[in-house]
């Protein structure tokens, strides 16, 4: 009788649906629910006892095979969670590679801006007094340092994100 109930239960669940639900957590829940049904006692013709036996048997089967076949077929995509206060960002391989491209583009943009500032000759700077000329030269030097350091940092960021993206790729 128990095997017939179990066969009926397994026939109702399609194989794909059963594989999705298979796992340790579901098995434990089925065993727990089956034990609760069993503790309710015998009513009528013992339907609750039959249901309890099927649930406990199915739960133990699922608990024994905690790895489903679908998990073996598909490589698991590894993700990392980055937390910035209340903001949480899920980092995947694709997001890391997109970030590397953006960092590389920002580095190129910063480098070109620094080249443009550097290509402007100091003799082209004409101001009314000496203080304004000194201030313009000092701002030019500060902008050059800022742009070159931003482009170098963007390059390091791009390399780091590419390496992180390779690390997060699913292992086959």
Give exposure, 84-96, as e/b (b: 16+ Cβ within 10 Å): eeeeeeebbbebb
Would you place residue 14 in the very low, low, confident or very high pLDDT band (cuts 50, 70, 90)?
A: very low
More confident residue, 51 or 143: 143
Question: Could you tell me if 52 and 6 lie in one domain?
Answer: yes
**Separation CA 115–CA 150 (nearest Å):** 13
* Domain stop point among 47, 73, 99: 73
Domain of residue 6 covers: 2-73
Residue 1 is inside which H or E element, if any?
A: none
Question: Could you tell me if 57 and 91 lie in one domain?
Answer: no
More confident residue, 54 or 96: 96
pLDDT, averaged across the chain: 76
Question: Could you tell me if 63 and 136 lie in one domain?
Answer: no
Question: Could you tell me if 84 and 117 lie in one domain?
Answer: yes
Question: Could you tell me if 56 and 116 lie in one domain?
Answer: no
**Separation CA 12–CA 20 (nearest Å):** 14
Would you place residue 17 in the very low, low, confident or very high pLDDT band (cuts 50, 70, 90)?
A: very low
* Domain stop point among 22, 47, 73: 73
Question: Could you tell me if 152 and 99 lie in one domain?
Answer: yes
What integer pLDDT is reported at residue 128 of this predicted model?
75
Helix (H, G, I), strand (E, B) or coil at 84: strand
Question: Could you tell me if 90 and 57 lie in one domain?
Answer: no
Token digits of residue 142: 């500060």
Question: Could you tell me if 94 and 139 lie in one domain?
Answer: yes
Question: Could you tell me if 69 and 84 lie in one domain?
Answer: no
| CA nearest neighbour of 61 among 51, 49, 53, 72 | 53
Would you place residue 5 in the very low, low, confident or very high pLDDT band (cuts 50, 70, 90)?
A: very low
Lowest mean pLDDT among 28-37, 65-74, 112-121, 126-135: 65-74
What integer pLDDT is reported at residue 24 of this predicted model?
63
* Domain stop point among 22, 46, 73: 73
More confident residue, 123 or 143: 143
| Overall domain count for the chain | 2
What integer pLDDT is reported at residue 51 of this predicted model?
74
Question: Could you tell me if 122 and 69 lie in one domain?
Answer: no
Question: Could you tell me if 46 and 117 lie in one domain?
Answer: no
More confident residue, 41 or 148: 148
Bridge partners (DSSP) of residue 84 are: 87
pLDDT tens digit sequence for 61-102: 776 655 544 545 555 666 778 888 888 888 888 889 999 999
What is the distance, to the nearest Å, from the Cα of residue 17 to the centroid of all Cα atoms in its chain? 25
Token digits of residue 44: 């009528």
| CA nearest neighbour of 139 among 151, 156, 127 | 127
């Amino acid at each position: 009788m128990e095997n017939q109930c179990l066969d009926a239960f397994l026939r109702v669940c399609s194989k794909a649906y059963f594989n999705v639900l298979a796992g340790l957590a579901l098995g434990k829940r089925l065993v727990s629910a089956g034990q609760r049904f069993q503790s309710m006692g015998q009513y009528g013709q013992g339907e609750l006892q039959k249901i309890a036996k099927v649930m406990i048997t199915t739960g133990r089967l699922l608990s024994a095979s905690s790895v489903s076949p679908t998990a073996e077929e598909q490589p698991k995509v590894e993700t990392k969670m980055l937390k910035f206060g209340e903001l949480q960002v899920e980092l995947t391989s694709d997001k890391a590679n997109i970030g590397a491209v953006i960092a590389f583009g920002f580095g190129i943009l910063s480098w070109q801006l620094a080249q443009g500032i550097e290509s402007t000759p100091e003799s082209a700077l004409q101001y009314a007094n000496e203080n304004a000329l000194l201030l313009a030269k000092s701002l030019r030097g500060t902008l050059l340092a800022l742009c070159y350091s931003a482009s170098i940092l963007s390059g390091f960021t791009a390399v780091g994100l590419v390496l992180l993206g390779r690390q997060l790729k699913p292992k086959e």
